[in-house]
Amino acid sequence: MRRHLLTLLEIDPEEGSAAIDTRTGEEMAQFKILARIRERPIFGQRRILWITRADQAPEIDPVEIQEKNGKSVTTVVLEAPEKPVATWSKQIPAYSLALPSRPSDREAWIRFLAEKHHLALDRGAIEPLMTTFEGSPGPVDRLFSDLSNEGGARKVTEEVLEKHGVVSHYKTVFDLLRGLENGDKKFFREWARFLEGGQSPFGLISLLHRQWKLYRIAKNALAEGRGQKEAEQTVANLGGVPPFVAGSIARSAGKMSRESIRKGADALWEADLLLKSGVSSTLVMDRLAATLYALGEPGGRGGETGKKKFVAQPSRKV
């Protein structure tokens, strides 16, 4: 992704390294930007001067900056909200950025944004970031800015992210659904803990909606006679999830009946509608938990393998 960005900025990736110098618009008036363009970078043959909140820079003149840019080893990137960028786009090249849907490309962008703030990402931090920030790069960029301003360790770990409320959605859903599959009543404790931890009911329903969509993809692949590995690959490709997640989804879908998948999706749709209609969120979410638990209750053996099955059963009081 770094190579693609350099090419986009018309910097030859083969020329050598390009240092990234990040500044805010408030601290970079027009004359300071022009002065930095004239300087040679201390590290690397090229420099990317990345101005965040560029619309706040005093007396900003993108056209003059572009004219000076062409004769300098420094390339200026002006980052700003959509409205000023729309105005500038009539005079200079402008791009609207969104995190790519393809997991490998999204990870590369997240790593680039961390590098922009001089942060290193621990391997365990990738998954929470990938599953929390799937749209605009703005929120993850602001998170990295906050982490950078805090000082201290320059390495972003899973523990650091948890302190800022960024937790892997896969882990959260996995813990909940593991309770469903095993008929473990600890599921209700996990469910309550998740909601009491600040997650909105709509957020939880959205996570589960996505999970059920993945179940359907996997179930359809298995029903077409594809093997386990091929079903996992289908889930990874169509669902845009990492291989280890796709494997877990395919294994779970193999234990579920089409009817229970359908009823689970219907229960989620109904809960979403009730919440939007103003029904008490506590009542709606308690009912949804009981319904999903009943669907996931062990109901016998799965053929010769002895695996538990998800079976469709009427809701019952818990």
pLDDT of residue 268: 92
What are the extents of the domains in the chain? 2-88, 103-163, 169-310
Tokens of 108: 């590369």
pLDDT of residue 298: 45
Q: What residues of the chain score a pLDDT lower than 70?
A: 1-18, 41-45, 70-71, 82, 93-102, 131-136, 152-153, 167-175, 181-183, 197-199, 296-318
Tokens of 138: 């703005």
CA distance to 54, 77, 180, 302, per residue, from 299 (Å): 60, 59, 12, 9
CATH of domain 103-163: 1.10.8
- Rounded Cα distance between 90 and 107, Å, is 31
63 phi/psi in degrees, rounded to 5 = -65, -45
- Rounded Cα distance between 126 and 97, Å, is 20
Q: Residue 14 burial by CB count (10 A; 0-12/13-18/19+): exposed, middle or buried? A: exposed
Is residue 316 within 8 A of residue 291, CB to CB? The reply is no
Structurally, at CATH architecture level, domain 169-310 sits in Up-down Bundle (1.20)
Work out whether strand 155-156 and strand 120-121 pair parallel, antiparallel, or are unpaired. Answer: parallel
